[in-house]
Amino acid sequence: MSRGLENFKVVLLGEGCVGKTSLVLRYVEDKFNERHISTIQASFLMKKISIDGKRLQLSIWDTAGQERFHALGPIYYRDSQGAILVYDITDMDSYHKVQDWVRELRRMLGDNIVLAIAGNKSDLSANRVVDCTTAQQYAEEVGAFHFETSARLNEGVEELFLDLSRRMLAVSATQQQQQQHSSSGGLQLTDDDDQINNTSKRACC
């Protein structure tokens, strides 16, 4: 980590063809490809951003959605500060797959990871099968936040990554405070956790 630049590892998980690669490519390079080229294992991209004058670097791991790669998941989500679980709003199976990932991540990492759920392909809302409000409520129940996105039209993508980054920054600040307090022998409760939980109630639909 270079001086003054905090690094956050973010992993994208979700069924094949839901648009994980497309979301990353749109966010990092502002590109979109109509063709589906299945990711093999995973690919990696970095992006530097500034939030409220604080510089941070996102190391983004875009994983393969095909079932045969599922077992590789832990290699990529281990040590991640944030995960984006992607489904396609026109594909119910992909939404159920997100729920499987949430269970696995909570079991393996507990609350040590910020979870974002992205309902992608919002431009295909005529073929929607996943109700946005239901997905939003589910996200709240599992301590995640939910966005609808269209990598194709570049809608909601910047907001998704920005919101995730803010939350990872908040968690990191809280952890640093706790470390300082424990190393100084004191214990002081802060409101930061409440702030994170309260902002997770933001609407998306």
Ligand X SMILES: Nc1nc2c(ncn2[C@@H]2O[C@H](COP(=O)(O)OP(=O)(O)OP(=O)(O)O)[C@@H](O)[C@H]2O)c(=O)[nH]1
Contacting residue, 10, 11, 22, 148, with ligand X by CB under 6 A: 22
> What one-character-per-residue DSSP string does 137-173 give?
HHHHHTT-EEEE-BTTTTBSHHHHHHHHHHHHHHHHH
From the list Mg ion, ligand X, none, pick the one residue 194 interacts with, judged by a Cβ distance below 5 to 8 Å according to partner type. none
For residue 42, CA distances in Å to 21, 64, 94 come to: 10, 5, 18
Name the minimum Å distance from CB 147 to ligand X.
12
Contacting residue, 39, 94, 120, 200, with Mg ion by CB under 5 A: 39
Name the minimum Å distance from CB 174 to ligand X.
32
- Binding status of residue 38 toward ligand X by CB under 6 A: yes
Q: How many residues bind Mg ion (CB under 5 A)?
A: 3
- Binding status of residue 63 toward Mg ion by CB under 5 A: no
The single-letter code of the amino acid at 105 is L
Sites for ligand X among residues 115-154 (CB under 6 A):
120-121, 123-124, 150-152
The nearer residue to Mg ion, 64 or 130, going by C-beta atoms, is 64
Q: How many other CB atoms are there within 10 angstroms of residue 156's CB atom?
A: 20
From the list Mg ion, ligand X, none, pick the one residue 99 interacts with, judged by a Cβ distance below 5 to 8 Å according to partner type. none
Spatial contact of 89 and 119, defined as CB atoms under 8 Å apart: yes
The single-letter code of the amino acid at 89 is I
